Every structure is written in C-alpha cells, then in structure tokens.
Amino acid sequence: MRDDVRVALGVEYDGSQFCGWQTQPQGCAVQDALERALAQVAGGPVDTVCAGRTDAGVHAVDQVVHFDTAAVRPETAWVRGVNALLPPACAVNWSRRVADDFHARYSAVARCYRYLLLNDPVRPAADRQRVGWFHLPLDLERMQSAARLLVGEHDFSAFRSAECQARNPVRTLMRLDVARRGNYVVFDFRANAFLHHMVRNIVGCLVYVGKGKYPPEWLGEVLAGRDRKRAAPTFGAAGLYLSRAVYEAHWGLPQTTRSTLMGMLS
C-alpha cells in the first residue's frame, strides 16, 4: 500500500523569464523553479508532471501539474507556501488532492492555446514579451477561411518542427478561431494534443494568408503536402499562451483562468 498522495496544481507563468517548461541542467526551466519550491515545502525531492510542455518564451495561465508526496500538508501550503518560494514570474493558483490514477498529461482530454498578435504598424514595447507582432494589415476573413481547412483529424507534419519527438503526427484540432479585437488578432486553438511548434507554425501560415501572399486554399495544400518546407516560418513565442488544460469533471479540478492581458485572455 502506498503511503504518498497525489496532488494537482494549477500554475501560471511568464515564459519570457524561463528557458521553457522542461527541466534543464542549468536549472532555468519552470519545472526546475517549481520543484525547488515544492521540495522545501515537502521536506524532500519532488518530481512533477505537466499537462503540456511549453517552449522558452511561451506563457501559461492554466498549466496543470501533478506530483506524489508523503508529506502531509494543507492545500494552502501547496499554494501560499510554494508561492513564497517561487520567483515572481511563476505562481500556483490552486491545489487539489486527486486520485492516484489522475495524470496531468494522460488524463487531459484537450489542451487550449491562445496566440495574441498585435497587428499594428508600430512594434510593441511594454508588451513585447507578451504579444506577437505583424506590421501590415491582415484580412480577417481570409484567415478565417484558411483556418477552417485545418479543423478535424489530420496529419500535421507540415506544421511540426524538425526537433519534434512525437511518434505520430496525427492530431485532432477541435477548434481554430480567428478574431479581431481592436488592433489585436486573437487565435484560439483546441486539440487533443499538439506537435512541437505546431501552433506557432500555423499562425505563421495564417499571417501569410492574411497579408495576401497566398489564397486561403493554400493552407489546405500545405496540410495535404505534409512538408514543413512548404509552410511559413515559425512565428515568435512571445504571443503564445497555454490557456487551458481540459479534464473530465469527475477529477474535480478548477477550470478557471485568473490572468488577463488587456481583456484578451478572458
């Protein structure tokens, strides 16, 4: 009989201050900072598992993490206690004890990402690490037409990075919405899982369509071709947010997003 318990956390972070989620030898990752703080509260080493690994510069407002511990602590200790030990760019929003068979990665039924793109002639300054930027006018309807071609179950090889380690490039993209809010274009993605750089590569292609370089039908041709070289360059990480990890209700996890960026993440 196991003596430890499984705890789930909701975590947000400013990805510009870290070298990505996954632990690194130099200790610069979100996982490194979180595990150091958890270890101090738990009184021993803690290994964490997350819903979705994020790259350097990519943010999260609802990353879900689980870990096992023999330490008996109130839920507040895993929130306020850990936050007192974390750097300012990372915070735990909530804590829940969960069943032993809960898994932050494998129990998730979907992941949601949001990309915020400032579409303005003048580059961002105060928000330069929190939004992407494109200076020429973008045609929203063209991008929406192109986006619809990607929804469904497809081989997304054309949108995966050369470093992608996924064994299977087939993913189910349940949602890809493109909307304009003032001088921002907001891209919302929901899928069962994502390939490495998949969201940023799709955004780059949609920008190509929006600026008139290619017609909307071109994106369907890129998808069918399964050739990364035919797609647009990878768009910058600054505007990308892991906005939600989705789980079935019986796990009892909060599904709230606390952070906002000029109303764009609400």
Residue 183: other Cβ atoms inside 10 A: 11
Q: Tens digit of pLDDT for each residue in 27-46?
A: 999 999 999 999 999 999 99
Decide if pLDDT at 1 tops 50.
Answer: no
Q: Tens digit of pLDDT for each residue in 89-138?
A: 999 999 999 999 999 999 999 999 999 999 999 999 999 999 999 999 99
Say whether 14 is catalytic. Answer: no
Q: Tens digit of pLDDT for each residue in 238-256?
A: 999 999 999 999 999 986 6
The CATH fold assigned to 5-107 is Alpha-Beta Plaits (3.30.70)
Q: Going by CATH, does the domain composed of 110-242 fall within 3.40.50.10490?
A: no
- The catalytic residue among 4, 32, 55, 62 is 55
DSSP 223: H
Decide if pLDDT at 258 tops 90.
Answer: no
Of the candidates 16, 22, 51, the residue with the CA atom closest to the CA atom of residue 34 = 22
Specify the pLDDT at position 162.
Answer: 86
Specify the pLDDT at position 164.
Answer: 87
Give the separation between CA 51 and CA 66, rounded to whole angstroms.
9
Specify the pLDDT at position 259.
Answer: 53
What type of residue sits at position 101? D
Same topology, domains 5-107 and 110-242? Answer is yes
Q: Tens digit of pLDDT for each residue in 149-194?
A: 999 999 999 999 988 888 899 999 999 999 999 999 999 999 999 9
Specify the pLDDT at position 168.
Answer: 92
pTM of the model: 0.93
Of the candidates 187, 91, 175, 182, the residue with the CA atom closest to the CA atom of residue 132 = 187
Specify the pLDDT at position 166.
Answer: 87
Specify the pLDDT at position 244.
Answer: 93
Residue spans of the domains in the chain: they are 5-107, 110-242
